[in-house]
Amino acid sequence: MSGAEAFVPTPLMLSDSARKRINALMDEENNPALKLRVYVTGGGCSGFQYGFDFADGVAEDDTVIEFGSATLVVDPLSYQYLVGSTVDYEEGLAGARFRVQNPNATTTCGCGASFMV
């Protein structure tokens, strides 16, 4: 006889470099309430694409994940695609950007901005 297994999804994670960048932007804007909103929309070359925005407030149904003074905000539709992901910040020859390392993505585009599940 088989039994049901409990499953607790891994929430979104934030890399040290992303946390430092969010804190730096909070200082630059002189706004300690600044939060990084991460979202998923349809589009991109692989079907879905990631988006980032900064917000002061949150909606009633948003998920708020705090990492010390740095905070991520995710809407409920996007959260289901992002569970277990890590939000990172990188600087390189192509510029500086936030990016998502998503273990749920079955296909990603070359730039890493879009994905398919």
The set of residues, in sequence order, having a beta carbon less than 8 Å from that of 80 and lying 6+ positions away, is none
Please indicate if the annotation marks 67 as binding a ligand.
Answer: no
Would the annotation count 89 as a binding residue? no
Q: What angle do CA 15, 17, 18 make, to 5 degrees?
A: 65
Is 100 one of the annotated binding-site residues?
no
Output the known binding site for iron-sulfur cluster.
Answer: 45, 109, 111
Output the known binding site.
Answer: 45, 109, 111
